[in-house]
Chain A
């Protein structure tokens, strides 16, 4: 079974540009999550999709970040315009059951974003 995949693995852009990150969850997982780790600090929650709906977007830092999951399969996270403080590693995770029963979230390899 394929795990969570993310594309690209690395992205280097200049301040003010736009970047779109993609995440493909494990097949059959309705729940998809975005997290990020900035400057070696804690990994922070960004948002949670259940199928195509945003269940919890309390972690999104500001309106420069837009996440979508059209069709309830893969998800994209767009940063427009990118700022220096957006640099970090963006992780995607998926899970089968969501909030019940201590459901395990399985993580992808992450996208390392560098904003110059």
Chain B
């Protein structure tokens, strides 16, 4: 069965330090991979996606994610965290080849807390 795992419910980082939010997936073949962010009282905002090509994907607000096929991971990273990055982050996948590959499968979410 297809699944996405975000092993950490919460990640705490000091402002200015690098941050990593982990994501691993279990999907056959080469899926499309996404990160979304949900700020308090807001909807899901698209951050970045991996389709093909360069394994390092750059997205909004200085975030980037690295696709690692051998480890089936797609960790989200940022070199220097801001307090405003505090939010709920969702990793997600979509099957590339399934005929009705419309659905996105989400992880359970990781709450990122950046302390000043």
Contacts and interface: CB of A to CB of B under 8 A. Distances in A.
Tell me whether A and B are bound partners. Answer: yes
Interface of A: 4, 6, 31, 33, 35, 41-45, 48, 55-56, 58-59, 91, 93, 98-99, 101-102, 104-110
B11 interface: no
Contact of B43 (A42, A48, A109): A109
Contacts of A108: 43
A3 to B, nearest CB: 8
Given A109-B42, A109-B43, A55 B108 contact: no
B45 interface: yes
Query: Most chain-B CB neighbours within 10 Å: which of A31, A93, A104?
Result: A104
13 contacts: A31-B102, A44-B106, A45-B104, A55-B100, A56-B102, A58-B103, A101-B51, A102-B32, A102-B51, A104-B34, A104-B49, A107-B45, A107-B46
Contacts of B102: 31, 33, 45, 48, 55-56, 98-99
Interface of B: 4, 32, 34, 36, 42-46, 49-51, 90, 94, 96, 100-109
A63 B94 CA distance: 26
B106 A105 contact: no
Nearest to B107: A42
B30 to A, nearest CB: 10
Contacts of B32: 102
Contacts of A4: 43
In the A-B complex, the 7 residue pairs with the closest CB atoms: A109-B43, A45-B103, A107-B44, A102-B51, A102-B32, A48-B102, A43-B106
A56 B94 contact: no
